[in-house]
């Protein structure tokens, strides 16, 4: 009963490095989302996907890229890490637009 | 997309009902109200959602006013483990993939 799985749980990057945050779900959900949460704030949407092969920008997409080659996986790519991208990143999924979103446990990313 | 207004913090004694209010005066007719909570820095946890009728599940009850401009989440017998930040959310429209618009929520403290 895995649900939404995110890896890694923690990561420290140097400025300018790149990395991919992994997200996979085993619920056959069509919709997937990436959010970021800065300290003391609510979540903000980075990118979303309504199905394999389809992605679109959310509220704060700059500095990030995504792909959705399968229903299960929705990786988030940081190409040139910047201190402003220090945050907690959450991946979520839902079966359709009316069903609740289920969240992973997050990836805590620090960029120094 | 409709905005929501919640008190920043509330207290509740253990064993008593916790009533968390939310205003969403700009909600449109086909927009759902969702409630999530976040414990420490874990991923948000879905609680309940509704359109216009009152809803109840094993976790909570949701009371929506007849004009749909406000709602109340009720935790009938609060426990210490219900201490969390509670988010009242009116889900975004199709242009955001129906993403959840998180604000700052209400920080609920359940005391012994």
In Å, how far is B102's CA from the nearest CA of chain A? Answer: 5
pLDDT digits (tens, 9 = 90+) for A48-66: 999 999 999 999 999 999 9
In chain B, the percentage of residues whose pLDDT exceeds 70 is 98
Q: According to the model, what pLDDT value does residue A18 have? A: 96
Residue among B46, B99, B105 whose CB faces A33 most closely: B99
Which residue do the tokens 């205003």 mark?
A: B23
Please count the other Cβ atoms lying within 10 Å of the Cβ belonging to residue A70.
10
Enumerate residues 6+ apart whose C-beta is below 8 A from A36.
A43, A44, A46, A60, A85, A87, A88, A89, A90
CA-angle at B71, arms to B108 and B91, nearest 5°: 90
Taking the C-alpha atoms of residue B104 and residue B38, their distance in angstroms, rounded to an integer, is 11
Check if the beta carbon of residue B11 is closer than 8 Å to that of residue B19. no
Among residues 57-86 of chain A, which lie with CB inside 8 Å of chain B? 58-59
pLDDT digits (tens, 9 = 90+) for A78-110: 999 999 999 999 999 999 888 899 999 999 999
Q: According to the model, what pLDDT value does residue B40 have? A: 84
pLDDT digits (tens, 9 = 90+) for B11-55: 999 999 999 999 999 888 788 899 999 998 789 999 999 998 899
Please count the other Cβ atoms lying within 10 Å of the Cβ belonging to residue B66.
6
In Å, how far is B105's CA from the nearest CA of chain A? Answer: 7
Check if the beta carbon of residue B90 is closer than 8 Å to that of residue B42. no
């Amino acid at each position: 009963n895995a649900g939404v799985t995110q890896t890694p749980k923690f990561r420290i990057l140097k400025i300018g490095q790149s990395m991919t945050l992994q997200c996979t779900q085993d619920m056959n959900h069509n919709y997937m989302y990436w959010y970021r949460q800065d300290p003391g704030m609510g979540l903000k949407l980075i990118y979303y996907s309504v199905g394999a092969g389809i992605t679109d920008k959310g509220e704060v997409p700059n500095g990030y890229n995504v792909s959705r080659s399968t229903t299960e996986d929705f990786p988030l790519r940081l190409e040139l890490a910047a201190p402003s991208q220090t945050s907690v990143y959450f991946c979520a999924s839902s079966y359709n637009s009316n069903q609740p979103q289920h969240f992973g446990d997050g990836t805590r990313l620090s960029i120094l | 997309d409709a905005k929501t207004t919640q008190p920043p913090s509330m207290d509740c004694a253990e064993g008593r009902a916790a009533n968390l209010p939310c205003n969403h005066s700009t909600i449109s007719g086909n927009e759902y109200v969702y409630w999530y909570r976040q414990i420490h820095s874990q991923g948000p946890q879905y609680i309940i959602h509704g359109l216009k009728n009152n809803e109840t599940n094993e976790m909570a009850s949701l009371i929506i006013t007849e004009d749909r401009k406000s709602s109340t989440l009720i935790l009938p017998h609060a426990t210490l483990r219900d201490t969390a930040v509670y988010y009242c959310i009116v889900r975004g429209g199709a242009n955001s993939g129906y993403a959840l618009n998180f604000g700052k929520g209400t920080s609920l403290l359940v005391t012994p």
